[in-house]
Amino acid sequence: MTTIGRRHLVPALAGLGCGALIAVVTVMVGPHQQPVPPQPDPTTLAGPMIIGPPPPDPAGTPDQGSPLLLPLPPPVPVPPPAPTPPQVPVPPPVPVPPVLSGPAGQVLAITNVQRRAAGCGPLKVDPRLMRAAQRHSQDMATRGYFSHTTPNGTGWDAREISAGYPEDKTGGENIAYGQATAAIVMNVWMHSPPHRQNILSCEFTTIGIGYYPPGHYWTQDFGY
């Protein structure tokens, strides 16, 4: 090895160092290579990316984070209210005296006398039969007819029931017109077999008597 002075050694080392540095730099830098572009995420190829909060769930889809609601049965349909039936006009009530007096009271007294003679019990006054009998006497006089059946076709039993008397207790009926007193009309009825039979029927227990002075219309309604 040849001895090299300090002055010559430094440039040599310096040159060596520069060569080494160049070599290093050349190795580190080398030829320039294009960077590989990032491959797209396969999951993003199905559609556009969503930015922001997730959209609300469609209506009817339960929230997975909340408890499930139990299914409820469908509501029971409520039927519409039934129409109100038309109101049937009710005829005004016929006033009935609390105690029979006058011609009606006299007819009752004579009737019970005749029943006692035939061995039957006395008839008791029933306010419902009184109402039916008085209505019929007044109706015959005001509408000008004489019959057990009204011009509308209503019979004596239907009239007793309409006055509130039990359907299975209706008995019979006597009518008359033109007799001015109770004694006269009772004499006519007692001499007529069908009317006499009603008066003396021991099965009858109740009676109603109607008298309308204009025209002297009389009615006896019987019941069991």
| pLDDT at residue 10 is higher than 90 | no
pLDDT (mean) for 165-177: 97
Tell which wins on pLDDT, 213 or 101: 213
Tell me the per-residue pLDDT of 89-103, one tens digit each, with 9 for 90 and over: 655 554 544 457 799
CA angle at 65 for the pair 63 and 68, rounded to the nearest 5°: 60
Report the 3 state secondary structure along 160-214.
HHHCCCCHHHEEEEEEEECCCCHHHHHHHHHCCHHHHHHHCCCCCCEEEEEEECC
| Side chain identity at residue 19, one-letter code | G
Tell me the per-residue pLDDT of 19-78, one tens digit each, with 9 for 90 and over: 444 444 444 444 555 555 555 555 444 444 545 555 555 555 555 555 555 565 676 675
C-alpha radius of gyration, the chain, whole number:
61
Alpha-carbon distances, residue 122 vs 12, 56, 114, 187, 200 (angstroms): 169, 93, 9, 18, 10
Contacts of 93 (CB under 8 A, 6+ apart): 131
| Side chain identity at residue 42, one-letter code | P
Contacts of 40 (CB under 8 A, 6+ apart): none
Nearest by Cα to 175 from 130, 123, 201, 137: 137
Confidence of residue 108 (pLDDT cuts 50, 70, 90): very high
Going across the sheet that includes 124-125, the strands are: 124-125, 206-212, 217-223, 170-177
- Bridge partners of 208, per DSSP, are 221
CA 148 from chain center: how many Å?
41
| pLDDT at residue 13 is higher than 70 | no
- Given a contact cutoff of 8 angstroms between Cβ atoms, the answer to whether 122 and 112 are in contact is yes
